[in-house]
Structure 1
Amino acid sequence: MDLTDPAVLSGSEWPMHGLADDIRPALEKALAEGPAVLATIIALEGGGPRPVGTQMLFAQGFASGFLSGGCIEGDVEIHARAVLETGAPRRLVYGEGSPWPDIRLLCGARIEILVERLDPDDVAVRDLLTHATERRPAVWFSDGTGRLCARKESAPPPWPGAFRRGFDPVPRLVVIGGDPTALALASLGAQAGFEATLVRPKGPLAPPPLAGVGYSRDTPGQALAA
């Protein structure tokens, strides 16, 4: 998959890219390869399936996140390719007042989306990823051209035209045990967006075959302290 290709999303019959809700891990991965395009729901009227602040990332080789029940992602992808090429942000409106009446939203909502290019050397993006790594709550501001990321406790008010979104540290889940229930809990936690770790003191050397789940053979006290 490639943003220079006509369809990043159409390469698969199943929308596996939509399983991720927190865009930061995908953003860090994308920026290691080059620029990326971030699409954010900045306004919503009616019963949309995704709340304001929901984000989707398009990058060289993959997409992550979702913005609706599948009604608009393909069209947003087209605009993302243009933004990646030109660097000029776009504000898209779907639903009432949209310039694309042929794109129907089954939920009847009106969705406004900011689509912007993020470069690897963008200071605000780097600050966002640093706050995530150091587990600090942060606030993200963007109008598509100017961006700022600040610590939550010292964040200024947004400037005119800027959208504000908060980011909290990724929640952690530590599951102690090695039975099927423990494995299921750790797996479900990872799928739900938790930083999940399975602790099995003196357990097998090989980690459990669970995607996104960390593993520790330490005692519970040592594992929790770490």
Structure 2
Amino acid sequence: MQPHATLPGEGGSLVTPERAFISDDAGTILRFALEALTSGMAAALVTLVEIRGGAARPLGAQMAVREDGRYCGFVSGGCVESAAAFEALEAIASGQDRMVRYGKDSPWFDIVLPCGGGITLSIHKLRTAEPLLAVLNSLAQRKPAGLRYSPRTRTLQSLPAATPTRWHKESFEVGYRPCVRAIIYGRSVEAQATAALAQATGYDVHTFDRASPRISMLTDADTAVILLWHDLHRELPVLQAALNARPFYIGALGSQRTHLKRTAALRERGFSEEEIGRIRAPIGLFPKARDAHSLALSVLAEVAATRNGSGER
């Protein structure tokens, strides 16, 4: 049976949770909650604050639930979201925040997580739009931000800096980072395929077929610079600018022999071995990707692995 809740002011009518759309993008979820509040509708934020054993989503995964039962986001693989939305509707109706456990060590014997683990969710009835607006404004300016939730005081506040997702003292903090910006250089089928796949991934994609002074303005700590030229001479100015701008990823197409020439050219221009060592070359997570689409998959897999801190070679 589909769970439902009774909300005040509706003549005792039942509200059934229903997914508004499918997304696990943090900015999209916060924006959904913000739009509810600014339109005069109550909403709750559901956050994954504890994992026991395995789990389908990382710590800090979130859902937003409106008082009409519509929700978005994920805190599991899809097996508890409707039940979590029901709990959020109850929190909205009562005005009382709550912690709910599912899976292992949960009182709900009929809700079993496929991974065999357990999760704890914090459910907070949003009382102001200001923290959400502050985080979204920071992300729009490509700056990291965070939210701090205190179960004791039932308050949510924004954090204007890079924030690890964790329990800190008696509060739970969630960190948010700007989306990956992919700057792709090259006039080739490989560059086209990589740009198309990056856009499908949700990255902020910029393509160039020649060196551009815009690289310094576009590049930040959440940028990947991807060079897919077959021309070492044309790529050197871009590599120099990228090394000075310090994006989280720099990758360049070419063989080991080509990279030795690239390394020598950069060394002549005054770059240290440590700086040159930041370049991923030959580019891609798996070697010898010969066709354009395999190469695009290989490159973006390496970008994602590097972003997640697991891309060491």
TM-score, normalised with respect to structure 2? 0.53
| 2:40 is the counterpart of 1:40 | no
Kept in 1: contact 2:103–2:112 (CA 8 A) = yes
Deviations 1:108-164 (A, max 9, x none): 111001112225x43322221221122222232102511121222699x97643101
Paired with 2:196 and 2:27, the residues of 1 have a C-alpha distance of 20
- Give ranges in structure 2 of 5+ residues lacking alignment: 6-13, 219-313
Q: Which residue of 1 aligns with 2:311?
A: none
Kept in 1: contact 2:32–2:64 (CA 8 A) = no
Q: Which residue of 2 aligns with 1:122?
A: 129
Q: Which residue of 2 aligns with 1:213?
A: none
User: Comparing 87-96 with 30-39, which one deviates more in the overlay?
Assistant: 30-39
Paired with 2:144 and 2:102, the residues of 1 have a C-alpha distance of 31
Paired with 2:81 and 2:58, the residues of 1 have a C-alpha distance of 15
Equivalent of residue 26 in structure 1, options 25, 29, 42: 29
Equivalent of residue 7 in structure 1, options 17, 24, 46: 17
Q: Which residue of 1 aligns with 2:296?
A: none
Paired amino acid for 2:133: R
Paired amino acid for 2:122: L
Q: Which residue of 2 aligns with 1:57?
A: 64
Deviations 1:56-108 (A, max 9, x none): 22246853321222221121121122223333222110123212111111211
Q: Which residue of 1 aligns with 2:148?
A: 141
Paired with 2:81 and 2:193, the residues of 1 have a C-alpha distance of 31
Paired with 2:73 and 2:100, the residues of 1 have a C-alpha distance of 17
Equivalent of residue 74 in structure 2, options 66, 73, 90: 66
Paired with 1:26 and 1:77, the residues of 2 have a C-alpha distance of 14
Paired amino acid for 1:25: T
Paired with 1:117 and 1:220, the residues of 2 have a C-alpha distance of 50
Structure 1 residues 30 and 191: alpha-carbon distance in aligned structure 2, compared to 1, 3 A threshold: farther
Shift of 1:200: 6.9
Structure 1 residues 149 and 158: alpha-carbon distance in aligned structure 2, compared to 1, 3 A threshold: farther
What is the number of residues matched between the two proteins? 197
SS in 1 for 2:30: helix
Kept in 2: contact 1:83–1:115 (CA 8 A) = yes
Paired amino acid for 2:31: E
- Structure number with greater CO (CA < 8 Å, separation at least 6) is 1
Paired amino acid for 1:142: Y
Q: Which residue of 1 aligns with 2:138?
A: 131
Paired with 2:70 and 2:182, the residues of 1 have a C-alpha distance of 27
RMSD: 3.3
Identity of aligned residues (%): 26
Q: Residues 53-202 of structure 1 correspond to what in structure 2 (within 5 A)?
A: 53-59=60-66, 62-119=70-127, 121-144=128-151, 145-152=154-161, 160-175=169-184, 181-197=190-206, 199=207
Larger radius of gyration: 2
Structure 1 residues 162 and 186: alpha-carbon distance in aligned structure 2, compared to 1, 3 A threshold: same
Shift of 1:223: 5.9
**Greater helix proportion:** 2
Structure 1 residues 162 and 6: alpha-carbon distance in aligned structure 2, compared to 1, 3 A threshold: same
Q: Residues 200-215 of structure 1 correspond to what in structure 2 (within 5 A)?
A: none
